[in-house]
Chain A
Amino acid sequence: MVLEVEAIENGSETEPQANGYKVKLEVFEGPLDLLLYLIKKEEIDIYDIPIARITQQYLDYLSLMEQFDVDIASDFLVMAATLIQIKSKMLLPPDPTISGQEEAVEDPRKELVNRLLEHKKFKAAAEMLWTKVQVEQEVFTRALLDIDKENTEIAATVYDLIAAFKTVCDRQREEQEMEIAHEVMTMEQKMEELKALFTDSLEVNISRLFALAKSRTDLIMTFLTILELVKESVVRLIQDRPFGEIIAIKR
């Protein structure tokens, strides 16, 4: 079973020493995989599962997972409840109102066995698919021809459509969030931001300051703040020739 080996290698495998025994803790895909593993390990007939024993082993395994801080998915707990339920059903004496000959009482394990068998079938099918994809990954088609380039666009499915819509919505939301974030900026905050810029350099081209503005409101705020900075004599503005660049210089 190549797939299983691979899954184990990829999973977080730990080999802690517990009670002197070497315990191999494998990470299972789900509760059905764990059950199949236990059945295989114990060499149990899948049609006649000793439910008490398997339930105990299943629960032991879960507590082991807990000990090593492996998150136990809720699916595993649901299965634990199912196992306990089956176990208790099997302990009940047969209903005396039903005559013994009818054999109407269904084996409480039946549904679980069916699910396990069904699951095993799909595991085998997955292996078959794995083999197929291995072969096909080694097959190549011709290189692009000039005529292919006439249509380099993407083919679309409904999933592409919803993905495109989601992209547009996310983009729109981001833009709105940015606008909102900047509109709440006060002149004091803007002042701090610009003053910080002047601590790094003594002169700044003010067209650069305008380019940094993230929205119209931000742009107006930048302009007003520069005027305020000039008024407070923090900076002075110079222009070395008519229509030339305006430079703000720290006083």
Chain B
Amino acid sequence: MDLTNLYYSLRLILPEVIVSVALLIIVIADLILHRDKKSIPYIALTGMLAALAFMITDLAQQGFAFIPSKSQHMFGMVAVDAFGTFFKILIIISSVFIVFFSNSSLEIQKVSDRIGEYYTLIYGMILGMMFMISASDLILIYLSIELLSLSSYVLAGFTKLRDRNSEASLKYIIYGAVSSGIMLFGISILYGISGTTNLMALNKFFQSPELNLLTLSFSLILIFAGIGYKISAAPFHFWTPDVYEGAPIAITAYLSVASKAAGFALLIRFIRTSFVAVVDAQGNWILFDFFDWRSLLIIISILTMTLGNFSALWQNNLKRMLAYSSIAHAGYILLGLAVLSVHGLIAIMVYFLIYLLMNLGAFFIVMLIADKSGSENIDDYSGLGYTSPLLGVALSIFLISLTGIPPTAGFIAKLYLFIALVDANMIAVAVIALLNTVVSLYYYVRVLKHMYLTKPSASTSSVRAVGINYAVVLILTIPVILFGLYFTPILEFVKNCISILSI
């Protein structure tokens, strides 16, 4: 690989470079700023905003980076395209919010002497996710997953405050290591069949007539198990509720949004680049017929949403309930992928954009309340709507949006999803998804019930957050309403971001 290639490649992955540099700066700053580490969050924030700025200005940029020198094809290890940039932007935006979350979070404040390490790990996650999104080589994919995972294992147990942090961390790492191990084993078999780890090259390989179908399916399922674990799709979701409940809320929120988005981006890119034979005029992806991705995705997604929703019904811990709800949402999103068309892609991207706002919002308020009352139990929310009106209203809006009732943005997300489904004639699946929506109403509304329909009890705390928190809440709330009423901007944005680099 000559130097021009390297420079070219580096320019393409400039946001990642910025993130890496910022990571190093934080490490160094952590060492220098021995006593007072108050400025570290700001450094972290600056790095994120810088990366964000670069990405937004260069939205249309695309090309392969790190093309092997002896390659016959010009397929690099990294594919930079608008689709990837879109997800990276989502990741960075959620990271920005996480900085605010962490700053407000009581849990994180208690370990403020280790805040440098905290942000280093966050950056590790960001970097891992960014490469997950744009990697087009299985080795790099595995590595970025590991980078993300290792950082998040630590973050899940970072505060060490309570048993549950450590427990979450342990479960997470065991589960994660096994999953990634299984995935690696799958990758190794796939490598053995095809002789390559590059996604584009795989696509070329799949065009050949002789395939070991059984072996291939085996390896794909093993790989899917690894990705499924990242997006917490049933039946690979088991870690999710436990870890989400145990981790600090800021990290839970981050995992539920950013990490999941990265996983989905990876899955989408994997399927789109390696398995799509041709995209027809209607934007439908015509897959190679040796592996029925659609059936797999439909089965998994129905299982996921049903399981998520039905399990959420029984939860008393709000954080855990939100964990199940995020599983359910992963199910809906998977359905968008199962459509296997550009339209489905749009639906997924719209969904994620909105999901980011509403899910982060919900977690943030739960965090504020938990910080004050020390409990995430739903019973302690009794009458909260009266003692903390603004937070109560905002949480209601987020939950309603998560249910998908107009005029909130969540409805638009669902709408586009169902548009995609109906367009693909997947009516029966759409009906199942809709029934699931109805089921989900129960547990979301249950929170509203506790907040408003029961009178405040002695244990209900009155949460008076500081100004910055209100600002964050408003920043998240207003778009949720606004996009519900006027969603052109979202669609315009998504529309510009649907190109995925492929052969």
| A, B from the same assembly | no
Using CB atoms and an 8 Å cutoff, list the residues of chain A in contact with chain B: none
Using CB atoms and an 8 Å cutoff, list the residues of chain B in contact with chain A: none
